[in-house]
Amino acid sequence: MATFDLRQLERIQKVTKADFISRYYRPQQPVLIENLTDTWNGKWTLNHIKSLAGDQTVPLYDNKPAQGKESVYEPVMKMNFGKYIDLIKSEPTDLRIFFYTIKDHCPDLLEEFEYPDIGLKFFKRLPALFFGGGQSKVFAHYDIDLPDNLHIHFEGNKRVVLFGPNQSKNLYKVPLSIHNIDKIDMDNPDFERYPALGHAQGFEVYMKHGDALYIPSGWWHYITYLDGGFSMTLRALPRTPKRFANMLYNVFVMRNIDNAMRKIKGQKWLDFKEQWAHRRANRITST
């Protein structure tokens, strides 16, 4: 089986604010921080969330990418939240929940944690939860609003593969999008069909309950849930003028152009972008 050129990501125990800023935030280096959540209470469990929100109905997504005019925000089904939690605890499934905003859906959870004091200025409107079953995969992407993220995992284990923003060309990034060609199997890359993938260099990290992963702005992440579990992402919006301007462009210009073209052209637009990405990456590889 083919694999990417990946190094194990650095794991550290608690970190001071000054160290985090100088060693990771300023140089934009990802890191996994263990024990950062040790002082939080023991309520970060699926059972506790079920007791607070188990009677809600939640939208579920699977591993299949949206095709043609399908919206990426259109769920494959809806389910009772309590039943979904029972499902991911008892059997592997690819069904997942993304961007469950705590403030809107389960504000009681806001009482159950403290924002870590590591120098990131968190956007307090948007702490969000993500849930997945033992077969869930989150396609390779970076976040459209270019935040610095602290991604904290609970219950079960997950594998995260990270690539820096300078690897976009090697990953066959699709133009006007924040993901790469969705036919690429990130677990078994086809280096013959996609030769630039052979030049991609990244990091791999395994997360367990309570681990906090710092994902710097614009870093690609490809996530595999190894068991049923959930994570919380705390985001800090970009602070440099250049990144802030790029964020505004992504959210208000790029996304709207892409959505409009998709509505008009459907699958033809997706195929056109894919060919463009393919040609661009292969051209770079061959020069």
Ligand X SMILES: O=C(O)CCC(=O)C(=O)O
Residue closer to ligand X, measured from CB, 145 or 258: 145
Q: Please, what is the minimum distance in Å from the beta carbon of residue 96 to ligand X?
A: 6
Alpha-carbon torsion (214, 220, 225, 231), positive or negative: positive
Residue closer to ligand X, measured from CB, 132 or 189: 132
The residues of the shown chain that bind ligand X, judged by CB under 6 A, are 96, 98, 130, 132, 138, 143, 149, 151, 221, 223, 231, 233
Residue closer to ligand X, measured from CB, 179 or 273: 179
Q: Please, what is the minimum distance in Å from the beta carbon of residue 195 to ligand X?
A: 27
Residue of minimal Cβ distance to ligand X: 130
Q: Please, what is the minimum distance in Å from the beta carbon of residue 266 to ligand X?
A: 26
Contact 226, 159 (CB under 8 A): yes
Q: Please, what is the minimum distance in Å from the beta carbon of residue 62 to ligand X?
A: 12
Residue closer to ligand X, measured from CB, 237 or 269: 237
Q: Please, what is the minimum distance in Å from the beta carbon of residue 132 to ligand X?
A: 5
Residue closer to ligand X, measured from CB, 138 or 196: 138
